[in-house]
Structure 1
């Protein structure tokens, strides 16, 4: 993949970018969702469903994390096009969705990494090197995270914790943000029973769809869960209390309203509870306006630079240089299958009845 450096951005340069008067996430709407199904061929269930939050009563002993752990599940399961399942799910949920109205399409983690760059050393944790591949489709910037490791295997003799076993108009831009949801809660008993009874087994092939030209299978199954019922699960040793500021950026980007802070002593968890942190995240947004304005300005700048350089680039951060380097890409594979690029070419009012979906904001 031939590339040429076109722009370098330091934290000092952020001060010179034109920032919005306010930076907040508004008009949030869940667009679509999906689950990965274990199968030989990459297969998703649309809309699928996150797990229903139903913890055991009282203390619970959990074994330590082990086995295969996904770091970048979409890339690991579908390396040809990690973003394809987002689009497949989206157009199943809304065949007439106008993708041309979207300014930025990205995974949550890309926004968090850029915010960490803006934040600098104030987060208390050094920022590791990262790469974001960016492709322009008309006026939509597609951000695709480039992970060096997509999964890892935790052997029986290793200890990594217990977390895996326990389980918007921003700055004048319109985003679709894909993110993983740990679970959901329901207060309606009938809805809870109905959703909990749904299965995600790949055995029943009655409602399978295979989009033309795609290497994916799609199973029409599940039910879209309202965003206001979703939650994020965080596990911690009891002697290390988790404060909201440590996870606020993650929850803010996806606008997840609830959190579970699950504490354990050597794997013995006390009974956790669900907390609504909407007000706390809004307060965090207000306190962090300076950095969030810089983040909005940075994303706009990156988008404009990529547009001006031909529509394909990579953004790299190296901690030794403490700067973002934007490189123009002369070749390299496309982010999406060819049929999905046609969505940017459709006339106003056209509707599409093909197959697609994911969680967007």
Structure 2
């Protein structure tokens, strides 16, 4: 296909790189934030994650109902879902050199691309998806898109327990020969004495019940002494500098499942791998009555999964590189599309489309150039 109509990337034609392992290395925490309930898009940085405190007795939870988020960043800030990632990053590290990054993406995008390479890596199989991409300098931004960013669960419907904490972490790592900045949601963390507290009392939770509840904060209950509140020029976002800093090795993912359907590590490994989340809670229930749930350190299991899936992960490196080349060929603004039943991803130009970030954030690429002259 020509660059005017798009670039076709075939699964069968992807050639995995040579002997170099497709492993995630040099993982670093960059920033974090929590969404705050407000009339305008508002985040707290570094934010407040829920703390894990296991219940001593079985707990009965109400099923999810009402408003739940499918893609929370897009739902809360549809004009620029990637903006809170960059705002929190530059609050924490104003001198961060974005030019050294090949890819900026949500974990969800990494998982979708992996499911294209290996459909069995997704619990629901390979489904159609669309990702919006933009090249800035040599960095490709990948913005998650969904048909619906939120939904209302009626009282008679059942769609599980515990959607969306609103707390997101931004990390960086090397994957093969690629440098990535990845955003992902965090369900909670295991409290440690080393946790540093910044301007805000730690959010208390009541074990599994608290972690699976609605943990978004409101602007009225964020009353830490003297938080710095700002609104960048040309942006619709409000940033409150408050919260706690959580170490990487304490973060955890929570998965709920009915008692008779046990959750195998293979089902959750791709998600934990893409965000390098070290801890997992498998919470089993019988009609909403949850039994004791324990925190497992799954670091070694995820590493074992990575080693066992080198064939697919090497092709994932090749796919990401092919997409970067295609976005450049398409003029720097493109749509990455997979249609169900196909063996191809199509990257098409987005001529005249709006840019993914506010104007001032693009200056970060130019400012870094000026500093090196």
Q: Considering the TM-score relative to the shorter chain, is it more than 0.5?
A: yes
Aligned residue in 2 for 1:340: 361
Aligned residue in 2 for 1:183: 188
Any stretches of 5+ residues in structure 2 without a counterpart? 167-172, 206-215
- Runs of 4 or more off by more than 6 Å in structure 1? 189-193
Aligned residue in 2 for 1:66: 65
Aligned residue in 2 for 1:101: 100
CA distance in 2, matches of 1:11, 1:165: 33
Aligned residue in 2 for 1:9: 9
Q: Show CA shifts across 1:168-218 (max 9, x none).
A: 110211100000000001232986995346995413485211111100101
The change in CA–CA distance for 1:197 and 1:234 in structure 2 (over 3 A counts) is closer
Alignment partner for residue 195 of structure 1, among 158, 177, 202?
202
Deviation at 1:49, TM superposition (A): 2.0
Aligned residue in 1 for 2:209: none
Name the one with the larger strand percent. 2
Any stretches of 5+ residues in structure 1 without a counterpart? 352-361
Matches within 5 A, 1:62-211: 62-121=61-120, 125-164=124-163, 168-188=173-193, 195-196=202-203, 200-203=217-220, 204=223, 206-211=227-232
Structure of higher RCO (CA pairs closer than 8 Å, 6+ residues apart): 1
Aligned residue in 2 for 1:223: 244
Quick check: 1:59–1:270 contact (8 Å CA) kept in 2?
yes
Aligned residue in 1 for 2:330: 309
Deviation at 1:307, TM superposition (A): 1.5
Aligned residue in 2 for 1:244: 265
Q: Show CA shifts across 1:303-330 (max 9, x none).
A: 0121233111111000132321111221
Number of matched pairs:
348
The change in CA–CA distance for 1:264 and 1:230 in structure 2 (over 3 A counts) is same
The change in CA–CA distance for 1:349 and 1:311 in structure 2 (over 3 A counts) is closer
The change in CA–CA distance for 1:62 and 1:29 in structure 2 (over 3 A counts) is same
Aligned residue in 1 for 2:352: 331
Quick check: 2:99–2:368 contact (8 Å CA) kept in 1?
no
Q: Show CA shifts across 1:56-78 (max 9, x none).
A: 21211111111101000000000
SS in 1 for 2:323: helix
Quick check: 1:62–1:165 contact (8 Å CA) kept in 2?
no
RMSD of aligned residue pairs (Cα, Å): 2.4
SS in 2 for 1:346: helix
Q: Show CA shifts across 1:152-182 (max 9, x none).
A: 1101111112233999110211100000000
CA distance in 1, matches of 2:18, 2:134: 23
CA distance in 2, matches of 1:250, 1:20: 25
Quick check: 2:103–2:180 contact (8 Å CA) kept in 1?
yes
CA distance in 2, matches of 1:240, 1:197: 30
CA distance in 2, matches of 1:268, 1:43: 35
SS in 1 for 2:304: helix
SS in 2 for 1:31: strand
Aligned residue in 2 for 1:356: none
Deviation at 1:350, TM superposition (A): 4.7
Quick check: 1:238–1:265 contact (8 Å CA) kept in 2?
yes
Alignment partner for residue 254 of structure 1, among 275, 282, 301?
275
